[in-house]
A and B are shown apart, each in its own frame.
Chain A
């Protein structure tokens, strides 16, 4: 599509705005379609509506690739110089290859209205948190599609949410036409309806790292589920989580988010050595405040899942940031934050087919005794719940009882007794 040439900086700003300020995104644009006003810039800060982005710009003939990451302002001059030199040293040959690869990989085109002019881009399939389902150009006649682009209505979800009357006023289409587009949007967004099949062949096996626990509680470990393990301090929650990480097969990996200070990596290695393994594929992240934790779950975790074959996510104490830090806006806001984190974890679990383990602290209830922290709001957001506690009056040191408190497939109150040893909980 031929279009008047536009300045590259304008396109960059418009694109980020159009994608509603994603955490991460990338796109290709044809060199001849734009006026290059960012020559010599390879890695630089870019401010869009008070949000700072780090832009990695590479010319890869016949395209220019832009790679944008949301991040606070950092001085990038040295980086810029480095990338610039690198390009000169390589004579730009890898960049031409990159351009050809871009031609092959870029999946779909997007049209964005920039200062009243249409321009076409190739957009590589980027993942910014949740994937948005958009209408493609083939779905409509050219004029209708242009109309949708003009009114910024290419996102299918919008058609399901905005009332019919508003859509008529905005677009000027007839009611029948709007109903048709709504139907199309429904078909695109609608999840797949599956008949129930209980097939014995499973795709992946998780393990508690203890044969006894596995034999009793295997049905809790399924893809797409969120399992909570709670207990008072020193009951061995972290132990269970670590040994689950350690028993992930070598070609997969796990993600461990700790909110109660640094996780002792030495503990993980000790565990691995005791079990006769050399390494553990575990990505570790530490968060201390509600903000950093929210950012980690909502933004960084999807990125990690898109890049690595993660099969297990562990969150070491969901309660810690919410109990310690004051959340702006009080109790209602706190409950909303907890809900959005819980929903995001469920979404990630079912989308990427992983298992999520969440450790929770105990709290003292004046009437009911020891209870899991965070109350009812949180209890709605988990699929199953295990309790781990010390066995009183036991002759064995490190004896623990693990019992079911919520599950769809195991009777409530079923328990298994274990002992903590050097190799972990057995």
Chain B
């Protein structure tokens, strides 16, 4: 900033003009034109016109100022905001997911039939509505049901269990007062569901939500369901999926929403298990978690993509919801 302006690659006439106005160092420029920091290209032009300079100088000065002082469009990465993740109520799974599912990210869960994906979806939806003082997000959630697997009775069970847990961990008087007033229906009132019976409904729903998203989490239970049949032309499917992927990304950028997607798996020719929807879809999610049923009520989750890739953790699905394995 202490550079003399004579060392800059600008024409001699402009330097002369600037010197005549006592601008010798680069730092002087900012003093003379204090609006430089805050204005965009068009604004700078307008401001300079107001200075009533001869036209030659005006153009040169504009170029000079723009080239040297305009801020780049790219933004330096912001410090990580203090945003609250959605927790799963299972410490091993939360550790695996690095604290839970954050806003503005897309997490994909996949697994064989009855590998606990729907249960996890319902648990996450209930956990969204936990008050902030207990470490929850206290936000609305939208559970998109493509499979018809969402069970109201189960959601109620989970909400009641979650409430019991809150009563247990309430330590001070204020927390106790809140938790004793809360009912399971209060928690459930923030959970919304929509049943999609074909893929156009799903696309329409995402379109409608993108206009004004009031949800903290959108959970799509088995997005793959509707994309695994109905399509004769695979190129059309790829196009539609790419479009949908873009829409989901945009939704994540525009609103502080966590997206959870459930995918299915298929057997390939050699009998090994592969995610559905093809290679291009696999770039959609920022994290990908594979779920598997180990024994009657023990399940395991393995990170396939993203932080802590390759690591796995066990969890249990009990009548109360997703919980830790008894050690």
Interface residues of A (CB under 8 A from B): 130, 156-157, 160-161, 163, 182-183, 185-198, 219, 222, 224-226, 336, 339-340, 343, 346-347, 349-351, 376, 379-380, 383, 385, 405-406, 408-409, 411-413
Nearest chain B CB to A237 CB, angstrom units: 20
Q: Which residues of A contact B225 (CB under 8 A)?
A: 343, 380
Q: Given A160-B207, A190-B201, A340-B229 in contact, is the A219-B151 Cβ separation under 8 Å? A: yes
B203 & A160 in contact (Cβ 8 Å cutoff): yes
Q: Check if A195 sits within 8 Å of B112, measured CB to CB.
A: no
> Closest approach, in angstroms, between the C-beta of B168 and any C-beta of chain A?
22
Which 9 A-B pairs rank lowest in CB-CB distance, beginning with the nearest? A379-B113, A189-B204, A186-B207, A408-B151, A339-B229, A186-B204, A409-B154, A190-B204, A157-B200
Would you call the interface of chain B mostly helix, strand, loop, or mixed?
A: mixed
Please tell me which stretch of B47-55, B77-85, B173-181, B188-196 contacts chain A, meaning at least 4 of its Cβ atoms lie within 8 angstroms of it: B188-196
State which residues 287-327 of B face A: CB under 8 Å.
296-297, 318-319
Query: What total of A-B pairs shows CB separation below 8 Å?
Result: 135
Contact between chains at A163 and B239 (CB < 8 Å) = yes
Chain A's nearest CB lies how many Å from the CB of B156? 5
- Nearest-Cβ distance from residue B143 to partner chain A, whole angstroms: 8
14 other A-B residue contacts (CB within 8 Å) besides A380-B113, A408-B149:
A160-B207, A183-B211, A186-B203, A196-B155, A196-B189, A196-B192, A198-B188, A340-B230, A346-B197, A350-B195, A350-B197, A351-B197, A408-B119, A412-B114
Cβ of B37 within 8 Å of any chain A Cβ, yes or no, is no
Does B266 sit at the interface, judged by CB under 8 A?
Answer: yes
CA–CA, A194 to B150, complex, Å?
13
Q: A186-B208, A346-B148, A413-B296 are in contact. Are A194 and B201 (CB under 8 A)?
A: no
Q: Is B283 an interface position by the 8 A CB rule?
A: no
Partner of A192 from the list B142, B156, B191, B194 (CB cut-off 8 Å) is B194
A188 to B266, CA, bound (A): 33
Nearest-Cβ distance from residue B323 to partner chain A, whole angstroms: 13
- Given A194-B193, A224-B195, A379-B114: A339 in contact with B228 (beta carbons within 8 A): yes
Q: Hey, which chain B residues are within 8 Å of A351, CB to CB?
A: 197
The answer to whether A383 and B114 touch across the interface, beta carbons within 8 angstroms, is: no
Expressed in whole angstroms, the Cα–Cα distance for A196 and B155 within the complex equals 9
Q: Does B149 contact A376, Cβ atoms closer than 8 Å?
A: no
Residues of A within 8 A of B149 (CB): 383, 408
Binary A-proximity of B212-248 (CB < 8 A = 1, otherwise 0): 0000000000100110111000001001100100000
Residue of B nearest to A157 (CB): B200
In the bound complex, do residue A191 and residue B203 qualify as a contact, i.e. CB atoms below 8 Å apart? no
